[in-house]
């Protein structure tokens, strides 16, 4: 009986766990009064504020002295040492990848079954949410087809726990440019993205991905297919324009992987919404991006992680060329006034360690408050997420709390004590 009682206790504990997908089915009808030490509302830090949540909406955010009458069933949650802020938004993730120092990218694409990759992704999604990232822009399934679309649906149906997902499906690449590579001509291997070329082919491929359920179309405007694996442009401006126009007709935006100045220029002229990476950006290209209102997602953490996997120890010896280029490009982008998206290419490094990118943004010259704005209201605005990224009346109740003040120390964002998504509490310490 003792053993049976223990099993029943463990089962009940799991069902009531804050990370159970089927936790508290009545949670959405609950009302909460959140009383933190301070509130970062997505724009500025507010003192003596409280926040009221009813269902999945914020119904009041403002001074405690002006608090309206609360619903009878409202539960008060005291957060006396915490800063409350909008759920963080990850701008560049790959939930179907895990760190390359565990398994190389080629082997993940070639040797891990889709079932294994989805199982891993389920854990990755939970880790992102528990770290305070309530929305992820996932930019490519890397050989797993439309598994990211299925994961998005599973979260929406509450089969699994995870952030809101904006997904890009397989992504588009020029024939011959993408990997896995290194096999003789008689060997055919699955690729990490969908190949397409020329107007008819690109039109069909873009429409096929839209039909597959993507939220965003991602295109590789360049890749490492030049002499000695140097990055070189893949598509012409005309080809890129066709992708952008086709996606736009369905109400979708296009994002471009681009690390060379020429590919960045072509993508900007074609009308993409964001440039991912941008290591080779020049002052002229960043001025063009500013003119066309194209944002940069620098993915600083991925470059540093890959360099570390290859033996670089930060602060020791010479700095790798890719890090030197990244620092230069970020500095130029900031000087030019290009809009910045925060997104670390998480998946290259561990899911749940997303704050690493925000710490590096500060390390590379950005102010704490600017990084906070970028990761909340800034990302929301650029991604078209109208009801997210701010703590305000009428907004969706994606709210987190951290112990300490992230406007003084960005690393405080690692101290997540409370996570609410869509009015449901998933973490409370």
Q: How far, in Å, CA of 155 to CA of 56, rounded?
A: 16
Average pLDDT of adjacent 10-residue blocks, the chain of 429 residues: 43 42 49 98 98 98 96 94 98 98 97 98 98 98 98 98 98 96 90 97 98 98 94 98 98 98 98 98 98 98 97 94 96 98 98 98 98 98 97 98 98 98 97
Alpha helices of 178-299 — where are they, by DSSP H? Answer: 198-211, 237-249, 261-270, 283-291
Handedness of CA 119, 120, 123, 129 (dihedral sign): negative
- CA 386 to centroid of chain Cα atoms: 16
Question: Which residues 6+ apart lie within 8 Å of 403 measured at CB?
Answer: 81, 82, 412, 415, 417
**Structural contact between residues 326 and 300, judged by C-beta atoms closer than 8 angstroms:** yes
Q: Give the span between the Cα atoms of 259 and 388, in whole angstroms.
A: 29
CA distance 305 to 320: 12
pLDDT at 29 (0 to 100): 56
Query: Are the beta carbons of 159 and 20 closer than 8 angstroms?
Result: no
Place of tokens 């998480």: 346
Cα 118 to its chain centre, rounded Å, is 17
How many Cβ atoms are within 10 Å of 131's Cβ, its own excluded?
A: 24
Domains of the chain with bracketed CATH: 16-87+390-428 (2.30.40.10), 88-383 (3.20.20.140)
Nearest to 400 by CA among 386, 410, 414, 411: 414
Identify the three-state secondary structure at position 54.
strand
Residue carrying structure tokens 């290591």: 279
The span from the CA of 405 to the CA of 415, in Å, is 10
Rounded to two decimals, the pTM is 0.93
The candidate with the shortest Cα–Cα distance to 165, out of 94, 63, 65, is 94
Answer yes or no: are the C-beta atoms of 336 and 286 closer than 8 Å: yes
**Rounded CA gap, 125 and 167, in Å?**
13
- With residues binned 3-state (H G I as helix, E B as strand, rest as coil), the percentages for the chain, rounded to 5, are 35, 25, 40
What gap in Å lies between CA 129 and CA 133, rounded to an integer?
5
Closest C-alpha among 166, 232, 74, 188 to residue 382: 166
Q: What is the SS3 assignment for 217? A: strand
Q: Which of 188, 132, 161 is nearest to 415 (CA)?
A: 132
CB 318 within 8 A of CB 67: no
């Amino acid at each position: 009986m003792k053993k049976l009682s223990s099993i029943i206790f463990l089962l009940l504990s799991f069902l009531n766990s804050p990370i159970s997908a089927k936790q508290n089915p009545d949670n959405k009808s609950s009302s909460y009064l959140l009383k933190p030490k301070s509130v970062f509302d997505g724009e500025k830090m507010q003192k003596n504020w409280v926040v009221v949540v009813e269902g999945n909406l914020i119904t009041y955010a403002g001074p405690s002295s002006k608090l309206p009458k609360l619903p009878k069933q409202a539960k008060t949650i005291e957060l006396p040492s915490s800063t409350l802020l909008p759920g963080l938004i990850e701008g560049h993730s790959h939930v179907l990848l895990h760190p390359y120092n565990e398994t190389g990218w080629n082997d993940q694409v070639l040797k891990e079954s889709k079932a294994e990759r989805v199982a891993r992704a389920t854990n990755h999604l939970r880790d992102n949410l528990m770290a305070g990232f309530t929305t992820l822009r996932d930019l490519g399934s890397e050989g797993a087809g439309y598994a990211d679309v299925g994961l998005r649906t599973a979260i929406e149906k509450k089969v699994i726990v995870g952030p809101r997902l904006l997904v890009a499906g397989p992504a588009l690449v020029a024939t011959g440019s993408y990997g896995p590579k290194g096999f003789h001509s008689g060997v055919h291997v699955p690729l990490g993205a969908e190949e397409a070329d020329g107007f008819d082919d690109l039109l069909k491929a873009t429409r096929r991905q839209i039909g597959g359920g993507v939220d965003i179309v991602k295109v590789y405007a360049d890749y490492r297919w030049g002499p000695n694996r140097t990055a070189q442009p893949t598509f012409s401006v005309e080809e890129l324009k066709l992708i952008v126009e086709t996606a736009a007709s369905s109400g979708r935006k296009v994002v471009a992987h681009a690390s060379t100045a020429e590919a960045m220029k072509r993508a900007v002229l074609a009308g993409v919404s964001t440039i991912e990476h941008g290591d080779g950006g020049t002052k002229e290209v960043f001025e063009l991006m500013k003119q066309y209102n194209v944002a940069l997602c620098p993915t600083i953490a991925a470059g540093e992680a890959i360099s570390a996997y290859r033996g670089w120890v930060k602060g020791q010896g010479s700095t790798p060329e890719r890090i030197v280029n990244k620092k230069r490009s970020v500095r130029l982008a900031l000087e030019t006034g290009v809009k910045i998206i925060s997104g670390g290419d998480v998946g290259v490094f561990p899911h749940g360690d997303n704050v690493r990118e925000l710490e590096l943004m500060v390390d590379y010259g950005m102010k704490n408050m600017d990084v906070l704005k970028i990761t909340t209201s800034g990302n929301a605005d650029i991604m078209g997420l109208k009801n997210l990224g701010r703590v305000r009346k009428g907004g969706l109740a994606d709210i987190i709390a951290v112990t300490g003040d992230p406007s003084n120390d960005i690393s405080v964002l690692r101290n997540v004590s409370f996570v609410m998504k869509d009015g449901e509490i998933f973490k409370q310490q």
